[in-house]
Structure 1
Amino acid sequence: MRLDKYLKVARILKRRSVSKELADSQRVYVNGRIAKPSTEIKVGDEIQILFGNRELRVRVRAIEKQVNKSAAAELFEIIEERRIEQNEIA
């Protein structure tokens, strides 16, 4: 599944256009590498998202084409979520 679609289906981000925009601006990494919106996501991949002054790292647990809101949280596990200090922003 494409990265931008996965982030939307898993409800990590609200809209696919937002996930595409973040990836286009090189603020999304998959397994430590800058990712494009079309990057294929597999179970076990680690996704890092930098948005605003936050960093979110998740591991993909499952991939589904469609899930209800309550099941979306089971598609990934949060590895780390932290606030980025102003001096850390590149």
Structure 2
Amino acid sequence: MRIDKYLKVSRIIKRRTVAQQACQAGRIQINGKVAKPSDKVEVDDVLTIQLGEKTYTYEVLMVTEHATKENADMMFRAVL
């Protein structure tokens, strides 16, 4: 699945266009590599996201095309 769509479906970022803009600005990395909006996400990938002055790191646990609000938090795990 594309990184921009994954971020939206998992509800890490609320809108796909915002996810695309973050990728284009170089604020999203997949396994330490700067991601383009079309880069693919797979299970066990580590996502690093810089939003404002904060940096968030997530491990991908599940990739699915659709997720309910209740299931979205099962798609990733925050890494400290």
Query: What TM-score results when the alignment is normalised by the length of structure 1?
Result: 0.87
Instruction: Work out which of the two has the higher radius of gyration on C-alpha atoms and give 1 or 2.
Output: 1
1:23-62: CA deviation from partner (whole Å, max 9, x where unpaired): 0000000000101000000000000000111111000000
Provide the secondary structure at the position in 1 that maps to 2:66.
coil
Q: CA RMSD in A?
A: 0.5
How far apart are the structure 1 equivalents of 2:70 and 2:79? 20
Alignment of 1:62-73 (within 5 A): 62-73=62-73
Structure 2: which 5+ residue stretches go unaligned?
none
Shift >4 Å, 4+ stretches: none
- Name 2:47's counterpart in structure 1: 47
How far apart are the structure 1 equivalents of 2:71 and 2:54? 24
How far apart are the structure 2 equivalents of 1:34 and 1:11? 20
- Give 1:19's aligned amino acid: A
Percent of paired sites with the same residue: 36
Structure 1: which 5+ residue stretches go unaligned?
81-90
- Give 1:15's aligned amino acid: R
Paired residues, number = 80
Provide the secondary structure at the position in 2 that maps to 1:39.
coil
Provide the secondary structure at the position in 2 that maps to 1:20.
helix
